[in-house]
C-alpha cells in the first residue's frame, strides 16, 4: 500500500521536475547573435537614442533592425580597441557583408503590426514590449522554439506565462490584453489583414 | 519497496498526473498547432524591404485608387487612398483581397495561342463577302477599347461590339432624393467611397421585390411584386392614384404615400439596376437631365484614333454573319447572354475569349486564352457611372503575371495589322498637351495643374501613383434617354420570377467573398437559389435539397434554400454568366427536385 503511494508520488515528482525544470531548458534552441552588440555602450558613450538606429522611414514605416550602412556611418573604421568592434569591422564592415541579426521580436507572417501607430500615436515606450534592451551590455542569445519556429520573446520568458502579469510576451493574447485594459479597439482584421 | 506491476502502473499514473500540472503538455499542444501552420507546401510570404506602391483597381469600372503595402516587392495588403477625390480612401471587399486573385485556383492558366492565331487568320482569309470580324469588349471606355476600335476600322468588315452602354453619368452628390429600381446602390453600383460620401445628402427610396442590402439601408423600401416597377414610377409621378398603385404592386398604401411625399424635397434622380432600362427615361420627366444625369465625359484621345470603328450592339449585327468573334473578358464587366450571341455567328465561326476565368465565355469559345488579372494588369480604367468629370488613371502592375498570359490589345492589333505602339503613353501625352485639369499625386496628396508639370513627370506620376482629373465645368445634357424594354415571350409554365439579388461581376470570385458564400452562407453563392416557404412547400422542396433550376433556355443543378424573406412567386439567384445565359433579361424559371 505504502509502496504504491511512493511509486505514485515519485512518478508525479519526476514529471513535475521534468515539466517545470527540464522542459523549459530543452524546449528552446540557442543561437548566438553575429555580433556581441552593446546597447549600453552606444547609449552611454555615444549618447544614442533608440530611434537613432531603430528609425522610422519618411513614409512612417518602421525600419526595424538597422542595416550595415547605419553602422558604418560611425564605424567605417574602428573607434575603440575592443575585440568585439574589431571582429565586427573585419567580418562585416570591411567585406561589406550584412550581419544576419536574429530578431527576438519577429512576428509570424500572418501578423501586421504598425510600430508608428503604437510609438508615435499611442506613445507606447519601446520597453513596454521589448523590455529594457536598450540598457543591455551584451545581446542575449537568441532562443527559438524549434517546433513552432517562434522566438522565446514572442511567447514570453517564463514558459508557463503565469509570471508575465501582462508585462511580457508578444502573443496575440498580450496585444488583446493591452488594448482591452486601455479601452482600445481590437479586431481580427486589425492585425491579420 | 518491491517493483510490482501495480506499482509500475502507479508510477506511470503519478507521472501522468504530474505532467498535467506542468506547462509541458499544454505548451506542446500550442506548439504543434503552430508547427502545422508551417508545414512544407504552405506558401510563406517573402521577407524583405517594406515598400508602399500605388495603383488603381480594375475589378470594376469604379477604378478606386489603391495603396499597396509590399514586402520584398510582393503586395501583402491593399487599402484605399485618401487623397483620391472619387474613391476617397474606400475599397470594397473585392478590392481589399484583389492581390490574391493571380493565385486563384480557378484561374485559366494556359491556352492555345498559336492555334488561335492560325484559326483566326484562316477564317479571315476564307470568309465570304458580308462575313465580319468582331471584337466584343465587355469593359468599353478604356484605351485598349480604342485599340480594338482602330483595329476593327483597319479590318475590312470589322465590328466593335459592346454590351448596352449608358452615355450618361450620375452626379449623386447633386441629388436630394434617389428612387432606385433595384439598383444595388450600396452593393456594387458606382464607386463605393463616392456613394457613401454622398449618402448623407440624399434620401433613398429603394423599389425592389426583395430586401437587398441597398433596400435594408434605404430610407424607404417599397417591396413590390416583381415586374411592377413601372406602376410605382407612374404613382410617384402622380399619373395614377397611390391606392391603385398599391393594389397592383402589393406595397402598403401608406408607405407609397410617404415615398411620394419624400420626393418633394429636392432634385430627384431615378436609377435602375440595368443602366439601359426604360425606367431611366423617367429622369427626363423628373428634370434630372443636366443636373443629376449628365453627359459622360471621356478623357481626350489622339486625333488619329478618331477614325475608329463605332461602338455597336450585338443586336444590330446581322444573324449568321460574324465569322470571327474575339471576346475581351479580361476584366469583369457587362455580360451578353450567349443566346443573343449565338445566332449572330456564321456556321463555322471562330470564337476566341481572352479571359482569366473558365466561367464566362470560355464555356462557349473554341479557344480561351489566359490574360493578366489585377494587379498584374497594365492598362487604364474607363469612367465609372458616378464619375462626372473626365479622368485618366492607370492600373500599374504590382506583380508580374504568374502564368503565361496574352495581351488582348496586342493580339487584336496583330490580327488587324496595326503597328505596335504604346497607346497609354500616347493618350497621356495628348491629355498633357491639352493642358486642362489637375494631376493628383497619391503619395503627397497634392493636386497640381497639368500645365505646371512636364509630359515626362505627368507620365511618371500616373504610373507611380496619381490620376488626372479634368475640371467638372458646366454640366451638359446627356441627350435623350430613350431606352426600350426587350420583349421576352411569356412563359406560363415557368411560375417563378427570377430575381438576381447578388450582383456579380463574373470572372474570378474574390477570396474574401468566397468565404462569405461558401463558409458562412451570408451571401448567395452561384450554385444556390432561395425560395419562399410557400413555393418550396408547393414543390415538395426541403431546405438544402438538390434541385434543378429550369428556364426556357436550359437547366442548372442547384441547392435550394428556403427563406421566409423571399416573396412568394420569386426565386432568388446570384447573378453571373451561367444564370445570365439561362435567364436572359426577364427571367422566368421553375425549381424542381433533382
d(CA B60, CA B505): 8
pLDDT-based confidence at residue B513 (cuts at 50, 70, 90): low
| Portion of chain B with pLDDT greater than 70, in percent | 93
Which residues of chain A are within 8 Å of residue B15 when distances are taken between CB atoms?
Answer: 11-12, 14-15
Q: Do B21 and A160 touch (CB under 8 A)?
A: no
| Portion of chain B with pLDDT greater than 90, in percent | 56
d(CA B217, CA B212): 9
List, for residues B259-305, the tens digit of each pLDDT value.
999 888 778 899 998 888 888 888 888 888 888 999 888 899 999 99
Chain A residue with minimum CA distance to B79 = A193
pLDDT-based confidence at residue B226 (cuts at 50, 70, 90): confident
User: What is the number of helices (H) and of strands (E) in chain A?
Assistant: 11, 2
Q: Do A15 and B19 touch (CB under 8 A)?
A: yes
Q: In angstroms, what CA-CA distances link B554 with A84, B319, B530, B548?
A: 79, 22, 18, 10
The answer to whether the CB of B325 falls within 8 A of the CB of B364 is: no
**Residue B466 class from Cβ within 10 Å (0-12 exposed, 13-18 middle, 19+ buried)?**
buried
Mean of the per-residue pLDDT values of chain B = 88
Which residues of chain A are within 8 Å of residue B37 when distances are taken between CB atoms?
Answer: 108
List, for residues B435-494, the tens digit of each pLDDT value.
999 999 998 889 999 999 999 999 999 999 899 999 865 556 555 545 554 545 455 678
Which residues of chain B are within 8 Å of residue A103 when distances are taken between CB atoms?
Answer: none
Helix (H) or strand (E) holding B283: helix B282-286
d(CA B276, CA B575): 17
pLDDT reported for residue B81: 94
Q: What is the mean pLDDT of residues B53-81?
A: 93
d(CA B187, CA B191): 10
> Picking from B198-212, B286-300, B519-533, which range would have the lowest pLDDT averaged per residue?
B519-533
Q: What is the mean pLDDT of residues B147-172?
A: 91
What residue ranges define each of the domains in chain B, with the CATH number in brackets? 50-103 (2.20.25.90), 113-163+299-469 (3.40.50.740), 168-295 (3.40.228.10), 496-593 (2.40.40.20)
List, for residues B303-320, the tens digit of each pLDDT value.
999 889 999 999 999 999
pLDDT reported for residue B474: 56
β-sheet bridge partners, residue B135: B160, B326
Q: Do B14 and A159 touch (CB under 8 A)?
A: no
pLDDT reported for residue B198: 93
Whether residue A98 lies within 8 A of chain B, CB to CB, comes out as no
Report domain extents, chain A: 104-193
Q: Do B18 and A4 touch (CB under 8 A)?
A: no
pLDDT-based confidence at residue B258 (cuts at 50, 70, 90): very high
Those of residues 434-493 in B touching chain A at CB distance below 8 A are 443
pLDDT reported for residue A81: 84
Q: Which residue has the higher pLDDT, B491 or B64?
A: B64
B505 min Cα distance to partner chain A (Å): 24
A81 min Cα distance to partner chain B (Å): 34
Whether residue B43 lies within 8 A of chain A, CB to CB, comes out as no
The answer to whether the CB of B83 falls within 8 A of the CB of B440 is: yes
Residues 6+ apart with CB under 8 A from B389: B297, B437, B469, B470, B471, B472, B473
pLDDT reported for residue B549: 92
pLDDT reported for residue B251: 93
Residues of chain A with pLDDT under 50: none
Q: Do A23 and B22 touch (CB under 8 A)?
A: yes
Chain B residue with minimum CA distance to A109 = B45
Q: What is the mean pLDDT of residues B357-368?
A: 91
Which residues of chain B are within 8 Å of residue A193 when distances are taken between CB atoms?
Answer: 76-77
Q: Do B14 and A23 touch (CB under 8 A)?
A: no
A182 min Cα distance to partner chain B (Å): 27
> Picking from A78-82, B348-352, B534-538, which range would have the lowest pLDDT averaged per residue?
A78-82
The answer to whether the CB of B468 falls within 8 A of the CB of B442 is: no
**Interface confidence (ipTM) of the complex:** 0.83
> Picking from B38-42, B123-127, B341-345, which range would have the lowest pLDDT averaged per residue?
B38-42
For residue B189, is pLDDT > 80? yes
For residue B205, give the C-alpha cell: 427610396
Q: Do A8 and B14 touch (CB under 8 A)?
A: yes
pLDDT-based confidence at residue B134 (cuts at 50, 70, 90): very high
pTM score, whole prediction: 0.79
Those of residues 68-127 in B touching chain A at CB distance below 8 A are 76-77
Q: What is the mean pLDDT of residues B197-213?
A: 92
Q: Measured at the alpha carbon of residue B210, what is the angle toward residues B205 and B214, in degrees to the nearest 5?
A: 45
Q: Do B52 and A4 touch (CB under 8 A)?
A: no
d(CA B171, CA B173): 6
pLDDT-based confidence at residue B165 (cuts at 50, 70, 90): confident
Chain A residue with minimum CA distance to B42 = A109
Output phi, psi for B438, to 5 deg. -125, 150
B140 min Cα distance to partner chain A (Å): 33
List, for residues B373-412, the tens digit of each pLDDT value.
999 999 999 889 999 899 999 999 999 999 999 999 999 9
- Cβ contacts below 8 Å, chain A against chain B, sum to 102
Helix pair B242-249, B229-236: axis angle to 10 deg: 170
pLDDT reported for residue B245: 92
Whether residue B128 lies within 8 A of chain A, CB to CB, comes out as no
pLDDT reported for residue B213: 87
The answer to whether the CB of B372 falls within 8 A of the CB of B110 is: no
Which residues of chain B are within 8 Å of residue A10 when distances are taken between CB atoms?
Answer: 11, 14
Residues 6+ apart with CB under 8 A from B40: none
Which residues of chain B are within 8 Å of residue A161 when distances are taken between CB atoms?
Answer: 23
Whether residue A32 lies within 8 A of chain B, CB to CB, comes out as no
Closest CB to A112 among B32, B38, B77 = B77
List, for residues B90-101, the tens digit of each pLDDT value.
998 889 989 999
Which residues of chain A are within 8 Å of residue B30 when distances are taken between CB atoms?
Answer: 148
d(CA B480, CA B398): 42
Closest CB to B1 among A6, A147, A148 = A6
d(CA B439, CA B469): 7
Helix (H) or strand (E) holding B328: strand B322-329
β-sheet bridge partners, residue B468: B392, B439
Closest CB to A8 among B11, B22, B44 = B11
Q: Which residue has the higher pLDDT, B173 or B509?
A: B173
For residue A148, give the C-alpha cell: 513552432
Best probe of the B interface among A1, A2, A9, A12, by most B CBs < 10 A, is: A12
Which residues of chain B are within 8 Å of residue A24 when distances are taken between CB atoms?
Answer: 23
Amino acid at each position: 500500500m505504502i509502496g504504491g503511494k511512493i511509486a505514485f508520488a515519485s512518478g508525479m515528482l519526476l514529471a513535475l521536475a521534468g515539466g517545470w525544470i527540464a522542459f523549459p531548458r530543452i524546449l528552446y534552441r540557442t543561437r548566438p547573435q553575429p555580433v556581441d552588440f552593446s546597447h549600453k555602450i552606444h547609449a552611454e558613450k555615444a549618447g544614442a537614442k533608440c530611434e537613432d538606429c531603430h528609425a522610422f522611414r519618411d513614409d512612417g514605416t518602421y525600419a526595424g533592425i538597422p542595416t550595415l550602412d547605419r553602422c558604418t556611418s560611425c564605424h567605417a573604421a574602428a573607434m575603440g580597441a575592443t575585440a568585439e568592434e574589431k571582429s565586427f569591422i573585419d567580418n562585416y564592415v570591411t567585406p561589406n557583408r550584412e550581419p544576419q541579426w536574429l530578431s527576438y521580436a519577429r512576428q509570424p507572417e500572418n501578423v501586421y503590426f504598425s510600430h508608428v501607430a503604437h510609438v508615435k500615436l499611442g506613445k507606447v515606450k519601446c520597453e513596454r514590449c521589448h523590455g529594457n534592451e536598450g540598457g543591455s551590455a551584451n545581446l542575449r542569445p537568441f532562443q527559438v522554439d524549434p517546433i513552432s519556429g517562434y522566438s522565446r520573446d514572442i511567447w514570453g520568458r517564463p514558459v508557463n506565462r503565469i509570471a508575465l502579469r501582462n508585462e511580457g510576451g508578444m502573443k496575440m493574447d498580450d496585444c488583446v490584453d493591452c488594448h482591452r485594459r486601455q479601452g482600445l479597439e481590437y479586431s481580427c482584421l486589425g492585425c491579420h489583414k | 519497496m518491491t517493483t510490482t506491476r501495480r506499482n509500475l502502473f502507479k508510477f506511470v499514473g503519478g507521472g501522468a498526473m504530474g505532467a498535467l500540472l506542468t506547462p509541458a503538455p499544454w505548451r506542446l499542444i500550442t506548439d504543434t498547432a503552430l508547427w502545422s501552420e508551417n508545414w512544407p507546401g504552405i506558401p510563406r510570404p517573402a521577407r524583405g524591404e517594406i515598400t508602399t506602391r500605388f495603383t488603381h483597381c480594375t475589378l470594376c469600372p469604379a477604378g478606386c485608387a489603391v495603396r499597396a503595402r509590399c514586402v520584398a516587392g510582393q503586395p501583402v495588403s491593399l487599402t484605399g487612398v485618401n487623397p483620391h477625390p472619387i474613391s476617397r480612401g474606400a475599397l470594397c471587399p473585392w478590392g481589399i483581397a484583389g492581390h490574391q486573385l493571380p493565385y486563384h485556383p480557378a484561374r485559366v492558366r494556359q491556352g492555345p495561342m498559336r492555334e488561335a492565331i492560325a484559326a483566326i487568320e484562316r477564317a479571315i482569309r476564307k470568309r465570304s463577302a458580308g462575313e465580319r470580324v468582331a471584337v466584343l469588349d465587355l469593359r468599353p471606355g478604356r484605351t485598349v477599347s480604342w485599340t480594338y476600335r482602330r483595329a476593327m476600322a483597319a479590318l475590312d468588315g470589322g465590328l466593335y461590339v459592346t454590351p448596352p452602354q449608358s452615355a450618361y453619368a450620375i452626379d449623386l452628390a447633386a441629388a436630394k432624393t434617389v428612387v432606385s429600381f433595384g439598383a444595388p446602390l450600396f452593393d456594387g453600383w458606382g464607386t463605393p467611397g463616392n456613394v457613401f460620401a454622398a449618402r448623407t445628402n440624399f434620401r433613398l427610396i429603394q423599389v425592389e421585390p426583395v430586401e437587398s442590402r441597398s433596400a435594408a439601408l434605404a430610407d424607404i423600401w417599397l417591396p413590390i411584386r416583381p415586374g411592377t416597377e413601372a406602376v410605382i414610377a407612374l404613382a410617384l409621378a402622380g399619373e395614377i392614384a397611390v391606392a391603385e398603385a398599391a393594389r397592383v404592386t402589393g406595397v402598403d398604401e401608406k408607405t407609397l404615400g410617404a415615398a411620394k411625399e419624400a420626393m418633394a424635397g429636392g432634385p430627384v434622380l431615378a436609377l435602375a439596376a440595368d443602366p439601359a432600362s426604360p425606367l431611366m427615361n423617367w429622369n427626363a420627366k423628373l428634370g434630372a437631365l443636366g443636373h443629376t444625369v449628365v453627359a459622360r465625359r471621356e478623357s481626350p484621345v489622339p486625333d488619329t484614333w478618331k477614325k475608329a470603328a463605332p461602338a455597336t450592339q450585338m443586336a444590330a449585327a446581322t444573324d449568321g454573319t460574324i465569322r470571327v468573334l474575339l471576346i475581351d473578358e479580361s476584366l469583369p464587366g457587362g455580360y451578353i447572354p450567349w443566346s443573343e450571341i449565338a445566332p449572330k455567328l456564321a456556321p463555322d465561326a471562330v470564337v476566341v475569349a481572352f479571359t482569366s476565368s473558365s466561367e464566362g465565355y470560355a464555356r462557349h469559345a473554341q479557344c480561351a486564352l489566359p490574360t493578366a488579372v489585377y494587379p498584374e494588369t497594365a492598362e487604364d480604367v474607363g469612367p465609372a457611372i458616378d464619375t462626372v468629370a473626365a479622368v485618366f488613371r492607370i492600373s500599374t502592375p504590382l506583380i508580374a503575371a504568374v502564368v503565361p498570359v496574352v495581351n488582348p490589345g496586342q493580339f487584336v492589333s496583330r490580327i488587324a495589322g496595326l503597328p505596335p505602339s504604346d497607346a497609354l503613353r500616347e493618350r497621356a501625352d495628348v491629355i498633357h498637351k491639352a493642358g486642362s485639369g489637375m494631376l493628383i499625386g497619391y503619395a503627397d496628396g497634392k493636386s497640381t495643374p497639368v500645365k505646371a508639370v512636364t509630359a515626362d513627370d505627368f507620365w511618371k506620376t500616373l504610373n507611380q501613383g496619381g490620376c488626372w482629373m479634368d475640371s467638372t465645368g458646366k454640366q451638359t445634357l446627356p441627350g435623350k434617354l430613350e431606352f426600350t424594354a426587350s420583349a421576352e415571350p411569356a412563359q406560363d409554365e415557368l411560375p417563378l420570377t427570377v430575381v438576381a439579388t447578388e450582383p456579380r461581376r463574373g470572372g474570378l470570385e474574390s477570396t474574401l467573398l468566397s468565404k462569405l458564400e461558401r463558409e458562412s452562407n451570408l451571401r448567395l453563392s452561384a450554385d444556390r437559389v432561395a425560395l419562399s416557404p410557400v413555393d418550396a412547400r408547393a414543390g415538395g422542396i426541403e431546405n438544402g435539397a438538390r434541385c434543378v433550376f429550369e428556364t426556357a433556355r436550359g437547366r442548372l443543378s442547384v441547392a435550394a434554400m428556403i427563406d421566409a424573406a423571399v416573396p412568394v412567386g420569386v426565386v432568388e439567384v446570384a447573378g453571373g454568366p451561367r444564370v445570365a445565359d439561362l435567364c436572359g433579361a426577364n427571367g422566368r424559371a421553375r425549381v424542381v427536385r433533382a
